[in-house]
Structure 1
Amino acid sequence: MRTQQTDQLPLTDCRFCSLVSKANGEDPIGTADTCDYWLIMEVSQPWSQDIFGENPTIKPLISLFQELIVKHEIKLRPMLIAPDREYSHPGFTRVLYYYRPAKMFSQFEKQEFVVPEGEATALLTAILKQLIQQHNDLSKFQQYQQQTSHIRELMVCTHAQVDLACGRFGTPLYRQLRKEYAPASNGKLRVWQTTHFGGHQFAPTLVDLPQGCLWGHLEPEVLDLLVNRNGSVSDLRQFYRGWAGLTKFEQIVEREIWIQLGWTWLDYLKTGEVLAKELNEEHHVDEEHPVYWAEVRIDFTAVDSNVSGAYEARVEVCGEVKSALNSAKQMELQAVEQYCVSRLTKLD
């Protein structure tokens, strides 16, 4: 049954898309881009809107990025991070490369390099070409590799040139995390400012690597729970955009399982599949052919294989909200379908 949210914020004079989204109750779940690879490089600010096309290190690689993403349909997310006074080294460029280690997994594997600035393009080229050729040979850069697999990276979008909301709301959140949480981690947590990685209507938005969980509409009072995982996961429900290892409707189901099982769920190896879906041809909103319902299966196993199983679920449209996809003086509101899990069954 379709429900319509009422009493939504008109916000005719509001400049920030994320305020519209949050006030109108838009659920961020299912909005994390599905990724198999993350390629992240240090580039000094300021970042223009087209920083990838203008940066001399990256510009020669644009056609290679397009070949990978468009032609080969490789799920790759390129990002830039701002150098940090404590973490970074003048004359050198940091490159973080995360990759999906297997079909079933819980977090991304990481390789980190700190190379002389003049070798950054060559390293990026080698990483991108190996994705096409399906082999891993970065031995030429081994001397620059860093042993940082134990470090958790929190990446907050502050890319105001793409959308004002990310600068307005992402920057103070980044500063709080960087000042309060990174120093208290005994070297196990770094916090970075990043370029846009999708979903600025959910600013402040954050990606937690190597886990690959994305968060949005974040508030200062939930940071302790997000970083330290020292309380009920249900208190983070409204901020969870999803896990990048799954697709949209799989992410929606995964959140429900996570709420039931708690923090240990994040450590399970997981994979998802959409078993069936029905397109809602008559009601076109945020997608060309919105899905009216989807049947989803999530398989899981513990790392030691002592626990394993599967869930099947049905995801259905349960409403619609008005949201703004971009910040502007004159807001253009757009209808966005909202989904909920109407059935969740653990299989024997």
Structure 2
Amino acid sequence: MVEPFFCAEESNTAGEDLIGCAVMAQFYVLVECPPPWSANAFHSNQIPDNLRTLVQALKQDKRTIRPLLIHRDRRQEPFTSVIILRQQDGVSFGYSKQEFQVSSLEEVAPLVSDYFNECHTHEPIETDTRDILVCTHGSHDKCCAKYGQPFYRRAIATVAQLALNPDVRVWQASHIGGHRFAPTAIDFPEGRYYGRLDEDSFTAILTRSGNTQCFNRVYRGWGILPWAAQVLERALLLKYGWDWFKYGIVGRVIDHNEDESWNRVEITLVRADHTSEVYQADVVIDDNKKLHLHGSCGNTESYAMPQYVVKHLTKLAASAIP
């Protein structure tokens, strides 16, 4: 009898580093919609035609706009939530959030269209919640069901045990990428991506306490940064510890070669008192760690999965930002 194959088990057993795989997006559009979801979430039966059409248009937009379906367990409410997150300009702490409520899924497309056309016809509700999206999209990849769905239930219990309700909401989410790192999650409004989460690492992330070394195991990267800058950002997070989460940052890739096996990256951190520090480093392929993995439960062939390391980390300057 052939044992069932799970890409997350293969990746974990191989010791694949998950840093640098957070999706970089300027906007997220989160639409509340109960499962089941089809493999392509916005092709699900309950999605109205006008919303499917809008999602196709958003994919063609010159801005990077990422639509996702979300759902959370709660008593039946007479409204549908729509959350739009926009990446902060300049020195960034993540995303700015606006949340809207409509009476049905048919009303989502006009609202979102008006938002991106800067027609402010809908009033957002007052909210300052932290929203954790856990991928449970098993029809897209079975690892999201096998690992994501049980973790979603545990995450709800953990938030309750820590008495973080209603300030922290946990949502099921459609495919967010990186299913081989399941269970995966995004922490909004920061927009940090995580994988291979368990109760201990999730508690540390929620409370910002404990040993930050867990980020070596569970941190996929910060979605406001290019992938190579995500690798350097983790190194700085480990250097500064939990204080790192108090800082705004600006990150960029200064230079890279054609195949991006070498990248020169710069990150500026900015404190509340407007003092700053600038770091540069090379993010390069780790020649000592060569992996070939399937990457997905549905793939029949394996592919090279390059691993990256930070070299030549240099602190360039400390200055005051007006």
Report the TM-score when normalising by structure 1.
0.84
Q: Which amino acid aligns with 1:202?
A: F
Residue 274 of structure 1: how far off its partner (Å):
1.0
Aligned to 1:294: 263
Aligned to 1:192: 171
Contact residue 280 and residue 315 of structure 2 kept, 8 A: yes
Residue 174 of structure 1: how far off its partner (Å):
0.6
1:161 paired with 2:147, answer no
Distance 1:171 1:262 in 2: 30
Aligned to 2:65: 76
- Percent identical: 32
Residue 63 of structure 1: how far off its partner (Å):
4.6
Distance 2:214 2:126 in 1: 34
1:232 to 208, 211, 222: 211
Give per-residue Cα distances to partners, 1:256-308, cap 9 Å, x unaligned.
Answer: 011001122122111111111123xxxxxxxxxx3221101112212341x21
Residue 14 of structure 1: how far off its partner (Å):
4.2
Aligned to 1:222: 201
Say which SS state the counterpart of residue 126 (structure 1) adopts: helix
**What does residue range 47-86 of structure 1 map to in structure 2 within 5 Å?**
47-55=37-45, 57=47, 59-72=49-62, 74-86=63-75
Say which SS state the counterpart of residue 332 (structure 1) adopts: coil
Distance 1:182 1:304 in 2: 35
1:37 paired with 2:12, answer no
Structure 1 unaligned spans of 5+ = 1-11, 280-289
Distance 1:36 1:304 in 2: 27
Distance 2:54 2:125 in 1: 26
1:97 paired with 2:84, answer yes
Aligned to 1:323: 293
Q: Which amino acid aligns with 1:153?
A: D
1:148 paired with 2:127, answer yes
Distance 1:64 1:120 in 2: 10
Q: Which amino acid aligns with 1:82?
A: H
Residue 347 of structure 1: how far off its partner (Å):
1.0
Aligned to 2:320: none
Q: Which amino acid aligns with 1:291?
A: E
Contact residue 26 and residue 323 of structure 1 kept, 8 A: no
Residue 331 of structure 1: how far off its partner (Å):
4.6
Q: Which amino acid aligns with 1:323?
A: L
Give per-residue Cα distances to partners, 1:220-239, cap 9 Å, x unaligned.
Answer: 33222121111121122221
Aligned to 2:281: 313
Distance 2:56 2:251 in 1: 26
Q: Which amino acid aligns with 1:75?
A: T
Give per-residue Cα distances to partners, 1:146-198, cap 9 Å, x unaligned.
Answer: 2112x111110000000000000011111011123146114211111110011
Q: Which amino acid aligns with 1:95?
A: V
Distance 1:204 1:294 in 2: 29
Aligned length: 312
